[in-house]
Amino acid sequence: MIKEIEQIAEVAGYLWQKGWAERNGGNITVNITGSLSAAYKSSPAVKGPISIGQKLPRLKGCFFYCKGTGKRMRDLSRSPMENGSIIRICDDCEHYEIISDVPVMPTSELPSHLAVHNYLIEHGSPFKASLHTHPIELVALTHSREWLEKDAATNMLWSMIPETKAFCPKGLGMVPYMLPGSVELAKATIDTIDEGYDVVMWEKHGVFAVDTNIIDAFDQVDVLNKAAQIYIAGRNMGFVPEGMTAAQMAEMSKAFNLPK
C-alpha cells in the first residue's frame, strides 16, 4: 500500500473517533499521480469510462484515490481498498476509469472534488489532498448569523489559543448554505479557496479542507475545531471567552512571521 493511502486510512480512523463521520458522512480525495508506478498507471480499466459531468483539462494524466460512495470512514480505516478506489482520468478529461482491483464507485461528490483539484493544478498549488468532514463544534457555530460574517469566526478562533493562527494562518472561509453536492456549492468553494483560504466552512454542513497531504488537511480542521471547543466550553461555564487581544495577536504574528 502506498504512503498516501496509509495516511488516508489513518485519517479516516481519526474522523470516526472524533464523531465527525457519522454513517457514510464525509469524503476524501487525494491526487496520487506521483506515487504510482508506470506499470500500475497502465493497468486496464476495471470499470468505465464514467462521465465526470464536466471537462477538467488540468486533470489529464492524473490518478486519484477516492472514498467510495456510501462507504463508512470507520470501514475505510481498516480496509481502504475495499471502501475506496483508484481512478484514472481519461484523455478527454471528461471521463474516468476505475483501475483498482475492487471496482468501488467513488463518492457522488467526486465531480466537485475533482473541480477543486483542477483549480489547484491550474494555479500551481502543491496541494494534493481534499477532505470533507463534519466537525461538531465548527458546524454548531454556523447556526448563528454572528459567525457567518466574513472572518468573524476566523478572528474569534484565532484568539482562543495561539496555536490556531500559527497552524491555520489563512483562517476559515465561509460559504452560505447550498445543496450538498451541487455545482453551485463546488463553485462557491473554489471561489473561497481563490480568496486565500485553505479551509472552507459550509454553513450547517461541514468543512472542506485542502493541503499538501491528507494528514495536514486533517490537522488544520482539528486545530480550528479545538479553538471552537474552547469557545463553547467558556460559554458553557457561563461566560464569553475574552480571547487574545488584538495587540497579543499582532505580537504573535510578527514573532512567527504569520500573515496579519
How do residues 230-241 score in pLDDT, each as one tens digit?
A: 999 999 999 999
Range of the domain at 108: 3-255
Counted domains in the chain:
1
Confidence of residue 257 (pLDDT cuts 50, 70, 90): confident
Q: Is 150 part of any domain?
A: yes
Q: Is 260 part of any domain?
A: no
Q: Is 189 part of any domain?
A: yes
- Whole-angstrom CA distances from 168 to 157, 171, 209 are 10, 6, 11
> Cα 43 to the chain's mean position, in Å?
28
Confidence of residue 24 (pLDDT cuts 50, 70, 90): very high
Q: Is 246 part of any domain?
A: yes
168: CB partners within 8 A, 6+ apart = 157, 158, 198, 199, 220, 223, 224
Number of residues in the chain:
260
Output the nine-digit C-alpha cell for 94. Answer: 471528461
In the block, residue with C-alpha cell 475506496: 84
Can you tell me the distance from the alpha carbon of 10 to that of 24, in angstroms, rounded to the nearest whole number?
16
Give residue 1's pLDDT: 57
Q: Is 109 a catalytic residue?
A: yes
Sign of CA dihedral 260, 134, 12, 28: negative
Q: Return the bridge partners of 211, or none.
A: 129
Cβ(65)–Cβ(29) below 8 Å: yes
**Is residue 80 over pLDDT 80?**
yes
Average per-residue pLDDT for the chain? 95
Q: Which CATH number characterizes residue 185's domain?
A: 3.40.225.10
Can you tell me the distance from the alpha carbon of 55 to that of 244, in angstroms, rounded to the nearest whole number?
46
Q: Is 12 part of any domain?
A: yes
Can you tell me the distance from the alpha carbon of 110 to that of 12, in angstroms, rounded to the nearest whole number?
17
Give residue 58's pLDDT: 97
Give residue 20's pLDDT: 98
Q: Is 37 part of any domain?
A: yes
Give residue 183's pLDDT: 84
In the block, residue with C-alpha cell 469510462: 49
Give residue 252's pLDDT: 84
Q: Is 56 part of any domain?
A: yes
pLDDT tens readout for residues 214-229? 999 999 999 999 999 9
pLDDT tens readout for residues 85-130? 999 999 999 999 999 999 999 998 899 999 999 999 999 999 999 9
Find the catalytic residue in 82, 94, 97, 109.
109
- Span 120-149, average pLDDT: 97
Cβ(127)–Cβ(120) below 8 Å: yes
Give residue 255's pLDDT: 83
In the block, residue with C-alpha cell 463508512: 72
Q: Is 182 part of any domain?
A: yes
What is the amino acid identity at position 43? Answer: S
Give residue 256's pLDDT: 83
